[in-house]
Amino acid sequence: MWVKWLRRVEVTDQPIESREETSKYTDTLADGTSRKWTWVMDAKSVITSPSPQTPITHKSGPLVITGLAWSGHGAITRVDVTLDGGKNWYQARLAKPGERKALTRFYLDIDWNGKEMFLQSRAHDETGYVQPTKEQLRNVRGLNSIYHNNCIQTWWVKKGGEVENVEVS
């Protein structure tokens, strides 16, 4: 993980219980047991626009919400987007059918009325897995599982179009 520690390279066909693998790729679950070597990321998505880097620059009118979804278990089959922090969900359109273990671009066309929004996206993959809320993820993995955090993220879009990352509970 850090080039400054690289002294040699050894190739193996199995996990090695090194400091980095055991400390960074082990998730302690709520019941105290641990998942070792959790390499695969479950289904995850993120809205890329609007975002803090790409705020809304017009007062109202047509707006395309877009983002990326992916899953280490297979293809993305669907992405839902909410404008109100999870009360109502709308199915986004995929740029093309999801491919196994690849990024999938999604879009939701809306008519923005200039009011604040709490944007979230929720990915579904071909195994039937649905991206969880933070509460759902903590119920399964506990509070110590931070390296494979795939829970739903929230953007707060303010009335002026400025965007901030917030947590909705």
Q: What is the 3-state secondary structure (H, E, C) of the chain?
A: CCHHHCCCCCCCCCCCCCHHHHHHCEEECCCCCEEECCCCCCCEEEEEECECCECCCCCCEEEEEEEEEECCCCCEEEEEEECECCCCEEECEECCCCCCCCCEEEEEEEEECCCCEEEEEEEEECCCCECCCHHHHHHHHCCCCCCCCCCCCEEEECCCCCEEEECCC
Rounded to an integer, the average pLDDT of 35-48 is: 84
3 pLDDT more than 70: no
Task: Quick: pLDDT tens for 54-110.
Answer: 999 999 999 999 999 999 999 999 999 999 999 999 999 999 999 998 999 999 999
> Which residue's entry shows tokens 């919400």?
65
pLDDT higher at 36 or 44: 44
Task: Quick: pLDDT tens for 132-160.
Answer: 999 998 888 777 666 678 999 999 999 99
- Looking at every residue in the chain, the average pLDDT score rounds to 89
Instruction: Judge if pTM exceeds 0.85.
Output: no
Q: Give the domain ranges of the chain.
A: 44-166
Say what the pLDDT of residue 11 is: 87
Say what the pLDDT of residue 145 is: 66
Could you please state the CATH topology (level 3) that the domain comprising 44-166 is classified under: Immunoglobulin-like (2.60.40)
